[in-house]
Structure 1
Amino acid sequence: MRISDQLEGVLADCSTLPAYHDLDPDQATISNATPKEWKVFNLWAMDERAEPERRNARGRPRCWPRSRTSSQVFFSILEPREIDSGARGAVRAYLRYYLGLKVPDEAPPSIRVKDEWHTWQENESVLFDDSWNHEVVNDSTGERIVLIVDVLRPMPLPLSVVNKGVALAARYVYGRKVLERAAQAREQPAEPTA
């Protein structure tokens, strides 16, 4: 299955997608900063397949296989006129990879990493150190959708062993809680829109 096919299945049921801060309360300062929502659909969290992704696959091949180097994989849907005012990852354990999947042509969204700006393009990617300050701006009239993959940072021994240990601990402390919240969000009926 191609990533774009998986995304189409997710977008068909977009009204049930949780906001990022509903899955990860630590993201509230960037995800809940405006009336618009930053929605996410987890495929993997800390090396565990997300339950919504299992159900969404409907017997088809999964678009993202298990990997020893990726810890999180999710679709990120940033609504029009939304600004993520800046963040930085808490640890230097991983690198963050963004792949542009749906990018408005008019006033395309952009991302700032440190002091360098990148304009999103479909099928183009950006890889950066998540511990660096970064912000996303979607000043367009359309949604910006990217695939985000957090990849364990390559490190020499013994740091690589420590990094893998931190990732394993995060699986139980962080990843499972995020996946439980994602499964609960999928089970709740969508609120009617005005």
Structure 2
Amino acid sequence: MAKKKTIYHLTKNLRAVVDNFIMRCSLLPDQAIFNPHIFAWVKDLEANWQTICKEATLIRADNMPSLGEISPDHGRIAADARWRTFFLEGYGYKRLENRACVPVTASLIDKIPDLCTATFSVLEAGCHIPRHRGMTKGMLTYHLALRVPKDRENCWIQIEEGDECHVCPWSDGHSLLFDDTYNHEVWNNTEEDRYVLLIQVKRPCKWPARLLMNVFFKGVRYSRFVQDIRKNLDKSQ
């Protein structure tokens, strides 16, 4: 039986065209890591990180579905069931029952312009996410570290940029903003779980690219990729 292709493979040629246009109109350079404070909303999240952490960690990791369980498109990189995700919002769909569990977090993410996705991402002890890259230059990925293992040097994300490798351990209450189309890999080589608030937002661009991104993300919203996640989340409740 032929292997079912993921959205990453099905949109490969389209993404190349979209990404080239986006970068011609981008208000930010093509680089791997950014100062997170280019976005005004980051200060609000950092100021409330302890409350967000309290809401997130009240949800036990083993009560969250693994990403591979709910998103077939993540296949290879989500094979380790210890990567768990608590969905709050994605491509215009809000998980109301999940947001009700974390009211402060929900109110804060509602203030973020151009939000694409918002989740709590948990790497349980020993989890490893293989080297991979994201779907489009049209999004930037943000992490707010909530609970980092005490042995933080053994819990990190590595982001490749040309010949350079950025090794970035998380630190409680601190932010990381990066372009996930650069290859990256994640390890939690500790005996504790790592919690982050993971946000994806549209890349700041001039208006022609913003229009194209709106069309592209509307297509993603109604794609099998997103609809499969919604269906599997409903089953997991």
Is the TM value for this pair above 0.5?
yes
Aligned partners of 2:187, 2:99: CA distance in 1, in Å? 31
Asked if the contact 1:42–1:52 (Cα under 8 Å) also holds between the matched residues in 2, the reply is no
Cα offset, 1:108, TM superposition:
3.9
Q: Pick the aligned partner of 1:22 from 55, 63, 69.
A: 69
| Partner AA of 1:146 in structure 2 | V
Which residue of structure 1 aligns with residue 157 of structure 2?
Answer: 111
Tell me the SS of whatever aligns to 2:88: strand
- TM-score scaled to structure 2, two decimals? 0.69
Per-residue CA deviation, residues 66-112 of structure 1 (Å, 9 max, x unaligned), is 64411100011101111112110122120000111110112441111
Aligned partners of 2:112, 2:228: CA distance in 1, in Å? 20
Which residue of structure 2 aligns with residue 83 of structure 1?
Answer: 128
Deviates more, 1:119-128 or 1:22-31: 22-31
Tell me the SS of whatever aligns to 2:229: helix
Aligned partners of 2:195, 2:74: CA distance in 1, in Å? 18
Which residue of structure 1 aligns with residue 222 of structure 2?
Answer: 172
Root-mean-square deviation over aligned CA pairs? 2.0
Asked if the contact 1:87–1:135 (Cα under 8 Å) also holds between the matched residues in 2, the reply is yes
Identity of aligned residues (%): 23
Aligned partners of 2:158, 2:204: CA distance in 1, in Å? 23
Cα offset, 1:10, TM superposition:
2.1
Aligned partners of 1:145, 1:30: CA distance in 2, in Å? 18
Q: Which has the larger radius of gyration?
A: 2
Asked if the contact 1:38–1:76 (Cα under 8 Å) also holds between the matched residues in 2, the reply is yes
Cα offset, 1:54, TM superposition:
4.0
- TM-score scaled to structure 1, two decimals? 0.83
Q: Pick the aligned partner of 1:156 from 202, 206, 216.
A: 206
Tell me the SS of whatever aligns to 1:84: strand
Indicate the structure with greater helix content.
Answer: 2
Cα offset, 1:183, TM superposition:
2.4
Cα offset, 1:53, TM superposition:
1.2
Task: Provide runs of 4+ in structure 1 moved above 6 Å.
Answer: none
Which residue of structure 2 aligns with residue 56 of structure 1?
Answer: 101
| Partner AA of 1:7 in structure 2 | A
Aligned partners of 2:98, 2:227: CA distance in 1, in Å? 14
Gaps of 5+ in 2: 1-47
Asked if the contact 1:97–1:128 (Cα under 8 Å) also holds between the matched residues in 2, the reply is yes
Q: Pick the aligned partner of 1:31 from 57, 74, 78.
A: 78
Aligned partners of 2:97, 2:236: CA distance in 1, in Å? 9
Cα offset, 1:9, TM superposition:
3.5
Asked if the contact 2:143–2:175 (Cα under 8 Å) also holds between the matched residues in 1, the reply is yes
Per-residue CA deviation, residues 96-155 of structure 1 (Å, 9 max, x unaligned), is 001111101124411111121111111111101111101111111111111110011111
Tell me the SS of whatever aligns to 1:10: coil
